[in-house]
Amino acid sequence: MRRLGGIENDIGRMALFLASEDSAYMTGQTVMVDGGATKLR
């Protein structure tokens, strides 16, 4: 059984990253926060 992410762990960290200066170079991206459930083949 796989671990399901929680708002405070996975989604919260992504929200903090997107709000930080570290993501300033990102434009028009779709960021999937799903623990790798949707993998590219």
3-40 pLDDT tens trace: 665 667 778 888 999 999 999 998 888 888 877 777 76
Question: What CA–CA distance (Å, rounded) separates 41 from 31?
Answer: 17
What CA–CA distance (Å, rounded) separates 9 from 7? 6
* pLDDT score for 16: 92
Q: What one-letter code names the amino acid at 14?
A: M
pTM of the model: 0.62
